[in-house]
Amino acid sequence: MINGKQNRENDQFKELVKKSGMEQAPGSFTENVMKAVQQHSVPEELSTSRSWYSSGYFLTGVIASSILVALVAFFYFYGNILLVKEFDPVFSPVLKDLYQSLAVILHSIKLSSTTLVIIGGFVLLLILDLILRRSTFSGKTYLTF
Amino acid sequence: MKFEDDSFYIDQVKSGDVNAYTFLVEKHKDMVFTVAMKIAGNKEDAEEIAQDAFVKAYQSLDNFLHKAKFTTWIYRIVYNTAISKLRKKKLDKVTLQPEITETYTLDEIVENLDYYNVDEQKQMVDFAMGLLEPQEKLIISFYYLNDMPVDEIAEITGLSNSNVKVKLFRIRNKMQSALKNQLQESLKKMQP
């Protein structure tokens, strides 16, 4: 009985509210939305790509890594040049010490080819992750550690 | 115009076809605009709210995982956008306290409304709805205009099912009270 009364009232209210009716979106609504969608999406992509290529972090990283790799290679293959006493009588002992310290560090690092491959793969995965993240603009990492 | 399922267009947009979003907008624009209109109370704000909601939905489409219906999701965005806009503009100043009508029963209200023409009836119901709080406007629009089930309304508003039912009860009382007042005012104007 109570449910019946409630249902009837409910139906009456439905009729009442329906008198208010559905509204119709303006004629140019879809067009305006799509214009706004395109306006909003373009700057977002540009800003993301801008941060990727011109924020400076990437370039700085590349330059710093290149310098590090060049220095390591230089000392590894041509480090003996620092032992030449005629090079500079004042700085020669300093350079000699530096060379010896670097030589000790380099010789203490024993890397097998397997380790090198693992490290190389790891670096490659990091770079791929970075590229994927930037290209999809989602900011989420695909690699979980 | 016959539309495909929402997920069809969503997948197309996600795969890079921006124009597929046009169909989603076309499909849902009237209901989104209606909800925005009921909450905002004027066409200018409603258009802005509805447009913002569609743009926000597009921007977050990557996060849409098909767990909920697209409509539930977009209506939640509309609701949040509208509430945020109303807070900024402070449009929702008028509120009506619920009171039990004694002069007119619901039957009598419905009966008396029938003496007015369609436009006048619409005007009265719009006015009564306009006195509701934004969330109540949304609930009543979804429940009575869109025949949306209580659990879906609860999902959109973040309320519990029982809370939505309680609010529906209060909304009916408020509407009844507002309509009663309008009918009485109208009768006073007619009397010499």
Q: What is the CA radius of gyration of chain A?
A: 34
Kindly state whether B164 is in contact with chain A, defined as any CB-CB distance less than 8 angstroms: no
Q: How far is CA B101 from CA A11, B79, B89, B106, B179, in A?
A: 18, 30, 32, 9, 10
A60/A66 Cα distance (integer angstroms): 10
3-state secondary structure of A9: helix
Please tell me the predicted confidence (pLDDT) of residue A90: 63
The chain B residue lying nearest A39, using CA atoms, is B55
| Residue A42 pLDDT greater than 70, yes or no | no
Interface of A with B in 36-75 (CB under 8 A): 36-38, 40-41, 44
pLDDT for A59-90, tens place per residue? 777 788 888 887 777 766 776 666 555 556 66
B131/B140 Cα distance (integer angstroms): 12
Nearest to A33, CA basis, from B22, B73, B61: B22
Kindly state whether B121 is in contact with chain A, defined as any CB-CB distance less than 8 angstroms: yes
| Residue A92 pLDDT greater than 50, yes or no | yes
pLDDT for B70-100, tens place per residue? 888 888 888 888 888 887 776 544 444 444 4
A13/B14 Cα distance (integer angstroms): 41
| Residue A37 pLDDT greater than 90, yes or no | no
The structure's pTM equals: 0.59
Q: What is the ipTM of this complex?
A: 0.73
Q: Which residues of B touch A38 (CB under 8 A)?
A: 18
B174/B178 Cα distance (integer angstroms): 6
Q: Which residues of A touch B144 (CB under 8 A)?
A: 13-14, 16-18
| Residue B177 pLDDT greater than 80, yes or no | yes
A46/B160 Cα distance (integer angstroms): 42
Nearest to B125 among A20, A29, A36 (CB): A20
A&B contacts, CB < 8 Å:
97
The chain A residue lying nearest B33, using CA atoms, is A25
Q: Which residues of A touch B25 (CB under 8 A)?
A: 29-30, 33-34
Nearest to A84, CA basis, from A95, A70, A73: A95
Q: What is the CA radius of gyration of chain B?
A: 19
Instruction: Let me know the angle formed at the C-alpha of A135 by A130 and A138, rounded to the nearest 5 degrees.
Output: 85
Q: Which residues of A touch B1 (CB under 8 A)?
A: none
| Residue A47 pLDDT greater than 50, yes or no | no
Mutation pick from B47, B119, B173 vs chain A, by most beta carbons of A within 10 Å, is: B47
| Residue A49 pLDDT greater than 80, yes or no | no
Tokens in use for A35?
């214009």
B121/B141 Cα distance (integer angstroms): 17
Please tell me the predicted confidence (pLDDT) of residue A56: 64
